[in-house]
């Protein structure tokens, strides 16, 4: 009867062995949904970056969070993304298709980067290995960055445009050459992330890429994006605005765009519903009463571009790549022309939103925009902040690193005038991985929104 | 010399008694009376026949030669003669058992009817903890002797006439509290309920015995007096028992300001769904119904109460029963119509029951039982906190000035939904009438049984039974609902079947004058099948048409099938010595499909014994009538749920034509072993003073180990949880039942007391001892099983305190949260009990049941939210000078400057507020806090500090009052009636004592283990009405 009972217990609801392409689509989508979604983007990092502000239920905009507020990045990042990408790597090793492995390594590295940028010390070397580690130890942030850099190097080696084909890639439509460029772009991003702390390593990474003859993302058509579809596969921003009305564009960025006469303003922001129709941001950190006093109809939602169901989630843009190259040059890591790259970056950002013509050349000439070699962090920081609009996690991280633009916290906020510089660990780590959590806290500092991370030297 | 002896057995009131055991004292051969009470046995001349039967005194009759014997058995209240139903439906003398069994008679359930059978057990049986449903149509949870499974089902197994029946609560689509399915059984059809409290009594049921077994015996046909027809009619009204206590001094708004334009933020704070607005002093303010005209801003104290209506239920049933020489039958029909307290909620039930036995030959009989029930509901009351369906959500975020009567017409003149708040809510009547969930369940519980007497004393039994139902739900969210602008439509369909086939051999023999022997051996095949199909149109294409084709988006479907099969063999034996010493042994081996082949087979035994001291030492005293000690040890095994061995991957809808898979959340375990529970039980039964004082005391110690649980792990492992096979939990406790008869004359007064205290302790979660917590449920606070603590710990955020226990405040004067979460209580009570007083005089009897639960805690989500939103009366202190508020101002009228208390007079030109409160705490440097907080900020400051919202859940309730009158027989005879009784009944009439505010501390949220986290529960209800029973 054993055989009969075995058969009864075969699960008829879900596969025991997955296909790598199905897993690639599913895991990529789940990761990007979380990256662009409410918890990690709209209701946290976009507020910290002062791209967006809350017009209702403003507690988060005043930095009132609980220790369960930041669980989504952790839970999706580890239990969906890293677990899924690990499985693809395992399958591709078994099936001898190194391109699946390369792609999965790149995406897993990006996920680890999001995690460490937000929380600091995180499980890396023991992560995603439940058979060996039920309570994974936290690696120091520096070690995480070093580890990801190695992984990206392996990915680069594994990816071969002439190698076996892959399917199920919804970012680059199975084009391996583009993945190689994206992998290098991430290496450049990380090199700069640690540049204030560890300039030698930063330079070494950039040199390595160069020595490999590696190419970077070289046009907007090579942006790493996930393009959404109509409902129910709509962009998370569109999904939120379908049922809720919590967010407006921040007064900080509206004022900045107006002061620079920036043609991206009508892309980034919608006009107010009530006359006189115009672009009105909500000040970050308003109380419910203050926000309510401005009113839902008298403040600007994000622009139609961002509210569209099919809007893309941007992971890495050509503009960012050019800003990174400009900064690498400004720091002396390369011999490229920082100012020229800076201008190219702004042009790329305009083109990302199909703003053509000569508008950009007039824009670049303005005193508020013109490249300041003496304070490259200010020039790059401010323009990058504008170019990264909507990419909350990246914009917030870059602002923490470059310290430009200079943002201030509202008097209604609760962190003694500070803006959060990290996510707090999920409260569940205290109960489920207590000793390692304690070790991480003793290494990194109290588990608070205001504890600076290793990369954030200044 | 032997001859065939025939005869009949009847009760004192003339009813024939089927199933009476008839034993020939000399030869120890035995037989059983048939459906008409008739028997026939080959017996020696002038031999002695011993008649014994449940609830009757054993009687010995000497055979004479004067033809058929007619025996009348006297009903018994003698503990020595009592016969009870034990595992697998075997009748045993209670004195022979080494464990506690407690019974309830059907009449106790039928008169004070509950639509959920489980509720009727509350307070009546020691060690049985019932948590009542929200309202009267929801789920109720029953736990016997504490939670023995950390993660699994702790609901007892229900067995109806030998057939295990389903009591699941299948999901909660549409945010409804669906009743657990044992509620399909109509109390009117129940003859008796026997509660086997845990493994010692229930070991023979195997896998599902650890949580105890509730045996239900339905009524069967008896030879009729009169027409054999009985009619029962029951009409009950249902009203609110609890409601949060609201304040009526301040209306909607924030910081004292409010003015309505569109209810969505265009006006002054008119999108704010809280009551921190202006005083309700009749000042003129435009409101939602006034079309821009300023109208008096006044309180409507009953605006929530008035939303609810008086519910009722009408329960009508008829039955016909008879028994003949070769047959017996009982047919009943029952109809229930129930209307809930939430507008537009209700349900109907129809049930048909047929119980019949055919005696094919003197040795072979066939029993066929069928119970068909149909549940129909157009809409069940919305529960929980979903904005499109919840009943209590918007009343906890509410404007206290809202005139509910202005909302009854929920569409305005343009056909648009019309509400006091349009930024988040839909009109409560819209929610009740448009966003509905219907339920429709058809169920058949049927069995066929054969009994063949091989020789006297040896029987073969074969029984096969099925419990099969279809349950369909249709969830409608209307077009135009706030937050779901296109509406949605979902259909859920469940098919559940459980099939059990048993074959047993039964042997009973009195070996000699000293020894008796009862043996049983048998086998079981069990199949379980559960299928769920869900289809959802996430956005409707056109309004008002609820059909899956009417969808804007691709349909979302899911479909799940679960199958389980097991084989078992079992045996039991009882040896009795001289009627006072008994030893019982059971053994069972199971093979389950859910376990891996290497661990599939598992064996478990039990032993118990009893010693009746009064018999052994021949004590015949007025003071001590009966004394028995008993004890036993048992072990039971338990298999896993299906498909828990190999990890699988999760599908989601294709994205741009690409199928999607993601990893599963649980790391499954290919090496699962069965769970094991061992239990030791000791007991003492005694009767004193001419049976005026009776008690039954039990103590038990239960260890459950190798528990299968999906323990949460750090997600950095790549999984949210890991299926472990290691958890250990201990439960120990005592139970006492006490019966006192203070008065026993024409007027009698009986007091039945039951008491149970259980202590649980989680010993270990994983073998490596890496994990300390298992999360059972999460809301704001969590329910966890944490090593070293009782089961059901409430775990959450606490106030940050200094060494002296003072709460530390932050720079603004608001309390701070301890970053480390704490265990803040446990939901499981320390002890529970009930006192049932029965007063009887002639045909009149009055029963009063008071029950109590002490020592548990509850997270009061209604209080947490209602304090934040300022709707509760508990937010009044300090809200204005007349409520003790402190006067303060902001220097320069700038809020960023912080508050300053007005000492004598305020500086000229500043606005003075009178709603200041100082939080009772200390600053970080240990000084007494003196910072004045505006009331709104004060009351909002502890919503996320769970400690502030956890209350003691103890209660004392007046659970049941029943006044019955049996009309005298002499009145009925001329009318050809056999019996008429009229009862006035009331249930859940009064919460005599509670330590919580705003909610009923006893609220089930489902039948699972995640209790103690109240969240916007529907108010509980009291019911009272009349019951009429007529026998023709």
CB atoms under 10 Å from CB of B1, counted, come to: 5
Instruction: Please answer whether residues A216 and A184 qualify as being in contact, where contact means their C-beta atoms are separated by less than 8 angstroms.
Output: yes
pLDDT single digits (tens) A366-425? 999 999 999 999 999 999 999 999 999 999 999 999 999 999 999 889 898 999 999 999
- DSSP class of residue A75? H
Output the pLDDT for position B124. Answer: 87
pLDDT single digits (tens) A273-290? 888 999 999 999 998 878
Nearest CB partner across the interface for A430, out of B559, B566, B821: B821
Q: Is B712 touching A (CB cutoff 8 A)? A: yes
Which is nearest to B960 in space by CA: B788, B836, B801, B793?
Answer: B836
Q: Is B795 touching A (CB cutoff 8 A)? A: yes
Mean pLDDT for B965-969 is 90
Which is nearest to B560 in space by CA: B634, B494, B476, B469?
Answer: B494
Cα B820 to chain centroid distance, Å, stands at 34
Nearest CB partner across the interface for A431, out of B254, B566, B773: B773
Contact residues, chain A, for B653 at CB < 8 Å:
232-233
Mean pLDDT for A171-185 is 97
* Alpha carbon distances (Å) from B876 to B400, B870, B887, B947: 13, 8, 16, 21
- DSSP class of residue A86? H
CATH 3.30.43.10 fits B2-76, yes or no: no
Residue B77 confidence (pLDDT) above 70: no
Contact residues, chain B, for A122 at CB < 8 Å:
716
d(CA B640, CA B733) in angstroms, rounded, equals 27
Mean pLDDT for B166-195 is 87
Mean pLDDT for B161-173 is 86
φ and ψ of B482, to 5 deg: -60, 125
Output the pLDDT for position B620. Answer: 84
Output the pLDDT for position B779. Answer: 84
Which is nearest to B401 in space by CA: B597, B553, B621, B246?
Answer: B246
Q: How confident is the model at residue B78 (pLDDT cuts 50, 70, 90)?
A: low
- Residue bearing tokens 């009784």: B981
Mean pLDDT for A122-147 is 97
Output the pLDDT for position B118. Answer: 83
* Residues B136, B138, B139, B141, Cα dihedral to 10°: -40
φ and ψ of B651, to 5 deg: -80, 145
- Residue bearing tokens 């202006």: B278
Nearest CB partner across the interface for B646, out of A16, A123, A289: A16
Residue A298 confidence (pLDDT) above 70: yes
Cα B580 to chain centroid distance, Å, stands at 38
In B798-879 the beta strands, taken as DSSP E runs, fall at 822-826, 831-841, 844-854, 857-860
Burial of B68 (0-12, 13-18, 19+ CB in 10 A): exposed
Q: What percent of chain B has pLDDT over 70?
A: 98
Compute the mean pLDDT over every residue in chain A, rounded to the nearest whole number: 95
pLDDT single digits (tens) B41-55? 888 888 888 888 777
Output the pLDDT for position B904. Answer: 86
Q: How confident is the model at residue B221 (pLDDT cuts 50, 70, 90)?
A: confident
Q: How confident is the model at residue B33 (pLDDT cuts 50, 70, 90)?
A: confident
* Residues B50, B53, B58, B61, Cα dihedral to 10°: -40
Output the pLDDT for position B63. Answer: 82
Residue A129 confidence (pLDDT) above 80: yes
H or E stretch including B684? strand B675-688
Instruction: Please answer whether residues B939 and B875 qualify as being in contact, where contact means their C-beta atoms are separated by less than 8 angstroms.
Output: yes
Q: What percent of chain B has pLDDT over 90?
A: 65
Q: How confident is the model at residue B921 (pLDDT cuts 50, 70, 90)?
A: very high
Please state whether beta strands B213-218 and B157-160 pair in parallel, antiparallel, or not at all (unpaired): parallel
B418 vs B470, residue with greater confidence: B470
Burial of B431 (0-12, 13-18, 19+ CB in 10 A): buried
A242 vs A149, residue with greater confidence: A149
Mean pLDDT for A34-53 is 97
Output the pLDDT for position B518. Answer: 92
Q: 3-class SS at B811?
A: coil
Q: Sketch the domain layout of chain B as residue ranges.
A: 2-76, 95-218, 864-950
Mean pLDDT for A186-213 is 96
Please state whether beta strands B857-860 and B1013-1014 pair in parallel, antiparallel, or not at all (unpaired): parallel
**Which residues is B581 bridged to in the sheet?**
B577, B611
Q: Which of A74, A90, A103, A134 would you mutate first to test chain B, the one with the most B CBs within 10 A?
A: A134
Q: Residues for chain A: how many in total? A: 458
Architecture of domain A18-218+240-246+417-453: Alpha Horseshoe (1.25)
Q: Which of A66, A432, A442 would you mutate first to test chain B, the one with the most B CBs within 10 A?
A: A432
Nearest residue of A to residue B481 by CA position? A243
Contacts of B982 (CB under 8 A, 6+ apart): B964, B965, B967, B1026, B1027, B1028, B1029
d(CA B868, CA B614) in angstroms, rounded, equals 64
* ipTM of predicted assembly, 2 dp: 0.94
Output the pLDDT for position B135. Answer: 67
d(CA A396, CA A456) in angstroms, rounded, equals 12
Mean pLDDT for B1002-1028 is 87
Output the pLDDT for position B841. Answer: 93
Mean pLDDT for B932-941 is 94
Tell me the three-class secondary structure of A140-177, residue by residue.
CHHHHHHHHHHHHHHHHHHCCCCCCCCCCCCCCCCCHH
Tell me the three-class secondary structure of B138-159, residue by residue.
CCCEEEECCCCCCCCCCCCEEE
H or E stretch including B756? strand B747-764
Instruction: Please answer whether residues A25 and A225 qualify as being in contact, where contact means their C-beta atoms are separated by less than 8 angstroms.
Output: no
**How large is the C-alpha radius of gyration of chain B?**
32
Contacts of A359 (CB under 8 A, 6+ apart): A263, A350
Exposure string of B18-28, with b = 16+ CB inside 10 Å and e = fewer, is bebbbbbbebb
d(CA A254, CA B571) in angstroms, rounded, equals 81
Output the pLDDT for position B80. Answer: 64
B586 vs A67, residue with greater confidence: B586
Residue B18 confidence (pLDDT) above 90: no
Q: Is there a contact between A79 and B719 if contact means CB atoms under 8 Å apart? A: yes
Compute the mean pLDDT over every residue in chain B, rounded to the nearest whole number: 91
d(CA A440, CA A121) in angstroms, rounded, equals 6
Q: Residues for chain B: how many in total? A: 1032
Q: Torsion-angle region of residue A22: left (phi > 0), alpha (psi -120 to 50) or beta?
A: alpha
Mean pLDDT for A233-258 is 94
Output the pLDDT for position A2. Answer: 83
φ and ψ of A403, to 5 deg: 60, 15
Q: Which of A1, A282, A292 would you mutate first to test chain B, the one with the most B CBs within 10 A?
A: A292
* Alpha carbon distances (Å) from B103 to B78, B216, B387, B625, B737: 15, 10, 44, 21, 12
Residue ranges in B885-1010 assigned as alpha helix (H): 935-940, 969-972
Q: Sketch the domain layout of chain A as residue ranges.
A: 18-218+240-246+417-453
- Residue bearing tokens 């068909």: B372
Residue B428 confidence (pLDDT) above 80: yes
Instruction: Please answer whether residues B165 and B294 qualify as being in contact, where contact means their C-beta atoms are separated by less than 8 angstroms.
Output: no
φ and ψ of B695, to 5 deg: -145, 155
Q: Is there a contact between B423 and A11 if contact means CB atoms under 8 Å apart? A: no
Mean pLDDT for A134-162 is 97
Cα A258 to chain centroid distance, Å, stands at 26
Output the pLDDT for position B843. Answer: 87
- Residue bearing tokens 């409560």: B428
Q: Is there a contact between A295 and B266 if contact means CB atoms under 8 Å apart? A: yes
pLDDT single digits (tens) B762-787? 999 988 887 778 889 888 899 999 99
Output the pLDDT for position B630. Answer: 96
Contact residues, chain A, for B592 at CB < 8 Å:
5
B223 vs A106, residue with greater confidence: A106
d(CA A201, CA A199) in angstroms, rounded, equals 5
Instruction: Please answer whether residues B804 and B784 qualify as being in contact, where contact means their C-beta atoms are separated by less than 8 angstroms.
Output: no
Q: How confident is the model at residue A272 (pLDDT cuts 50, 70, 90)?
A: very high
Residue B223 confidence (pLDDT) above 80: no
Q: Which of B597, B644, B662 would you mutate first to test chain A, the one with the most A CBs within 10 A?
A: B662
Mean pLDDT for A40-48 is 96
Q: What does the block give as tokens for A194?
A: 């640690």
Q: How confident is the model at residue B79 (pLDDT cuts 50, 70, 90)?
A: low
Q: What does the block give as tokens for A200?
A: 């030698």
Q: Is A162 touching B (CB cutoff 8 A)? A: no
CATH of domain B95-218: 2.170.130.10
Q: What does the block give as tokens for B749?
A: 């007064």
- Residue bearing tokens 């929801």: B138
pLDDT single digits (tens) B299-340? 999 999 999 999 999 999 999 999 888 899 999 999 999 999
Mean pLDDT for B358-363 is 91
The DSSP code sequence of A347-398 is HHHHHHTT--TTHHHHHHHSTTTS--GGGHHHHHHHHHHHHTTT-HHHHHHH
Through-space distance between the first and last CA atoms of chain A, rounded to whole angstroms: 69
Q: A98-119 and A176-193 helices cross at what angle (nearest 10)?
A: 30
| Highest mean pLDDT: which range of B17-21, B96-100, B751-755, B814-818 | B751-755
Q: What does the block give as tokens for B737?
A: 């039942």
d(CA B829, CA A137) in angstroms, rounded, equals 38
């Amino acid at each position: 009867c054993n055989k009969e009972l075995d058969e009864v217990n075969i699960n008829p609801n879900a596969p025991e062995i997955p296909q790598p392409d199905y897993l690639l689509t599913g895991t990529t989508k789940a990761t990007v949904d979380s990256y662009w979604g409410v918890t990690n983007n709209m209701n946290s990092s976009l507020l910290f970056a002062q791209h967006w502000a809350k017009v209702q239920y403003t507690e988060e905009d005043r930095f009132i969070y609980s220790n369960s507020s930041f669980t989504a990045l952790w839970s999706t990042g580890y239990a969906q993304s890293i677990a899924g990408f690990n499985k693809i790597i395992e399958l591709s090793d078994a099936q001898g298709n190194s391109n699946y492995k390369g792609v999965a390594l790149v995406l897993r590295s990006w996920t680890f980067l999001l995690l460490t940028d937000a929380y600091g010390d995180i499980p890396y070397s023991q992560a995603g290995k439940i058979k060996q580690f039920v309570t994974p130890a936290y690696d120091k942030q520096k070690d995480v960055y070093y580890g990801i850099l190695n992984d990206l190097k392996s990915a680069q080696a594994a990816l071969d445009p002439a190698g076996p084909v892959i399917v199920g890639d919804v970012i680059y439509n199975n084009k391996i050459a583009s993945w190689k460029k994206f992998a290098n772009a991430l290496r450049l991003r990380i090199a700069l992330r640690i540049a204030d702390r560890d300039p030698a390593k930063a330079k070494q990474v950039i040199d390595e890429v160069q020595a490999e003859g590696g190419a970077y993302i070289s046009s907007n058509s090579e942006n790493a994006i996930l393009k959404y579809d109509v409902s129910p596969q709509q962009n998370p921003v569109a999904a939120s605005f379908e049922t809720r009305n919590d967010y407006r564009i921040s007064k900080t960025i509206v004022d900045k765009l107006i002061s620079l006469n920036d043609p991206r303003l009508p892309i980034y922001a919608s006009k107010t519903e009530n006359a006189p129709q115009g672009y009105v941001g909500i000040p970050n950190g308003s109380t419910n009463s203050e926000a309510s006093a401005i009113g839902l109809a008298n403040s600007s939602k994000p622009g139609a571009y961002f509210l569209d169901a099919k809007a893309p989630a941007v992971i890495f843009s050509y503009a960012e790549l050019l800003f990174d190259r400009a900064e690498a040059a400004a720091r002396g890591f390369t011999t490229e022309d920082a100012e020229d790259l800076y201008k190219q970056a702004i042009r790329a950002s305009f083109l990302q939103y199909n703003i053509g013509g000569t508008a950009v050349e007039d824009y670049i000439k303005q005193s508020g925009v013109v490249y300041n070699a003496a304070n490259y962090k200010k020039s790059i920081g401010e323009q990058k902040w504008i170019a990264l609009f909507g990419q909350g996690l990246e914009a917030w991280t870059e602002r923490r690193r470059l310290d430009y633009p200079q943002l201030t916290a509202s008097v209604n906020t609760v962190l003694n005038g500070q803006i959060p510089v990290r996510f707090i660990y999920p409260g569940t780590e205290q109960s489920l991985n207590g000793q390692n959590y304690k070790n991480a806290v003793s290494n990194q500092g109290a588990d608070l929104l205001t504890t600076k991370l290793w990369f954030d030297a200044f | 010399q032997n001859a065939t002896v025939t005869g009949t057995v009847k009760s004192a009131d003339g009813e024939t008694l089927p199933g009476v055991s008839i034993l020939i004292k000399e030869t120890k051969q035995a037989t059983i009376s048939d459906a008409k009470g008739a028997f026939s046995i080959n017996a020696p001349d002038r031999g002695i026949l011993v008649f014994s039967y449940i609830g009757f005194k054993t009687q010995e009759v000497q055979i004479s030669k004067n033809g058929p014997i007619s025996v009348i058995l006297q009903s018994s209240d003698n503990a020595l003669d009592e016969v009870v139903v034990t595992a697998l439906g075997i009748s045993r003398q209670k004195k022979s058992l080494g464990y506690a069994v407690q019974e309830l008679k059907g009449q106790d359930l039928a008169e004070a009817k509950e639509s959920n059978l489980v509720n009727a057990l509350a307070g009546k049986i020691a060690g049985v903890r019932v948590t009542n449903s929200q309202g009267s149509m929801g789920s109720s949870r029953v736990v016997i002797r504490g939670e023995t499974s950390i993660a699994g089902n702790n609901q007892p197994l229900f067995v109806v006439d030998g057939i295990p029946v389903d009591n699941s609560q299948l999901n909660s689509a549409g945010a409804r509290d669906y009743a657990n399915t044992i509620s399909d059984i109509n109390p009117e059809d129940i003859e008796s309920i026997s509660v086997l409290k845990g493994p010692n009594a229930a070991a023979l049921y195997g896998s599902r015995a650890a949580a105890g077994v509730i045996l239900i015996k339905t009524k069967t046909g008896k030879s009729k007096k009169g027409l054999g027809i009985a009619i029962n009619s029951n009409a009950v009204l249902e009203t609110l028992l609890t409601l949060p206590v609201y304040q009526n001094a301040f209306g909607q708004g924030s910081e004292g300001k409010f003015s309505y334009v569109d209810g969505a933020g265009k006006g002054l704070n008119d999108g704010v769904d809280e009551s921190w607005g202006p005083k309700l002093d009749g000042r003129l303010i435009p409101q939602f119904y006034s079309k821009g005209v300023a109208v008096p801003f006044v309180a409507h104290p009953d605006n929530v109460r008035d939303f609810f209506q008086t519910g009722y239920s009408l329960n009508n049933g008829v039955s016909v029963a008879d028994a003949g020489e070769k047959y017996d039958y009982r047919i009943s029909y029952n109809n229930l119509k129930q209307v809930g307290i939430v507008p537009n909620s209700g349900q109907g039930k129809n049930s048909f029951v047929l119980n019949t036995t055919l005696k094919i030959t003197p040795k072979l009989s066939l029993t066929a039982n069928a119970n068909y029930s149909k549940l129909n509901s157009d809409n069940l009351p919305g529960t929980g906190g979903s904005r499109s369906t919840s009943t209590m959500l918007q009343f906890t975020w509410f404007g206290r000035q809202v005139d509910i009567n202005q909302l009854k017409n929920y569409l305005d003149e343009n056909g648009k939904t019309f509400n006091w708040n349009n930024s988040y809510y839909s009109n409560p009547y819209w929610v009740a009438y448009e966003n509905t969930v219907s339920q429709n369940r058809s169920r058949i519980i049927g069995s066929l049984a054969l009994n063949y007497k091989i020789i006297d004393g040896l029987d073969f039994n074969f029984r096969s039974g099925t419990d099969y139902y279809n349950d369909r739900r249709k969830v409608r969210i209307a077009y135009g609902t706030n937050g779901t602008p296109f509406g949605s439509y979902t259909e859920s369909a469940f098919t559940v079947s459980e099939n059990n086939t048993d074959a047993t051999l039964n042997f009973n023999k009195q070996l000699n004058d000293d020894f008796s022997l009862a043996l049983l051996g048998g086998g079981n095949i069990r199949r379980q099948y559960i299928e769920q199909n869900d289809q959802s149109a996430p956005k409707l294409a056109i309004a008002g048409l609820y059909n899956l084709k009417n969808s804007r988006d691709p349909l979302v479907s899911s479909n799940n099938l679960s199958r389980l099969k097991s084989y078992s063999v079992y045996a039991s034996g009882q040896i009795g010595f001289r009627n006072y010493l008994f030893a019982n042994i059971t053994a069972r081996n199971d093979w389950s499909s859910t376990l891996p082949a290497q661990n599939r087979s598992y064996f478990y035994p039990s032993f118990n014994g009893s010693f009746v001291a009064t018999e052994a030492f021949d004590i015949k005293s007025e003071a001590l009538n009966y004394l028995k000690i008993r004890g036993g040890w048992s072990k039971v095994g338990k298999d896993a749920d299906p498909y828990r061995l190999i990890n699988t991957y999760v599908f989601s809808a294709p994205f741009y034509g690409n199928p999607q898979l993601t990893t599963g959340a649980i790391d499954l375990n290919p090496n699962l072993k069965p769970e094991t529970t061992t239990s030791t039980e000791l007991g003492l039964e005694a009767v004193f003073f001419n049976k005026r004082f009776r008690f039954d005391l039990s103590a038990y110690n239960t260890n459950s180990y190798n528990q299968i649980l999906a323990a949460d792990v750090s997600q950095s492992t790549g999984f949210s949880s890991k299926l472990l096979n290691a958890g250990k939990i201990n439960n120990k406790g005592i139970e006492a039942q006490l019966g006192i008869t203070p008065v026993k004359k024409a007027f009698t007064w009986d007091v039945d007391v039951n008491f149970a205290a259980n202590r649980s302790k989680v010993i270990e979660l994983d073998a490596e001892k890496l994990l300390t917590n298992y999360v059972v449920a999460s809301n704001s606070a969590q329910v966890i099983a944490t090593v070293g603590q009782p089961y059901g710990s409430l775990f959450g955020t606490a106030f940050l305190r200094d060494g002296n226990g003072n709460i530390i405040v932050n720079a603004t004067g608001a309390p701070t949260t301890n970053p480390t979460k704490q265990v803040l209580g446990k939901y499981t009570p320390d002890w529970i009990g009930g006192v049932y007083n029965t007063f009887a005089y002639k045909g009149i009897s009055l029963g009063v049941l008071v029950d109590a639960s002490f020592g548990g805690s509850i997270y009061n989500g209604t209080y947490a939210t209602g304090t934040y939103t300022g709707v509760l009366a508990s937010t009044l202190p300090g809200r204005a000078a007349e409520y003790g508020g402190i006067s303060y101002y902001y220097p320069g009228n700038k809020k960023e400057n912080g508050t300053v208390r007005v000492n004598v007079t305020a500086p000229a030109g500043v606005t003075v507020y009178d709603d200041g409160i100082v939080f009772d705490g200390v600053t970080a440097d240990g000084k007494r806090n003196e910072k004045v907080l505006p009331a709104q900020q004060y009351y909002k400051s502890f919503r996320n500090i769970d400690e502030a919202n956890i209350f003691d859940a103890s209660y004392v309730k007046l659970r049941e009052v029943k006044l019955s009158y049996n009309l005298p027989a002499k009145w009925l005879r001329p009318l050809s009636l056999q019996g008429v009784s009229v009862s006035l009944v009331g249930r859940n009439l009064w919460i005599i004592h509670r330590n919580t505010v705003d909610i009923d501390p006893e609220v089930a949220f489902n039948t699972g283990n995640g209790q103690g986290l109240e969240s916007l529960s529907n108010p509980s209800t009291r019911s009272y009405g009349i019951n009429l029973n007529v026998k023709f």
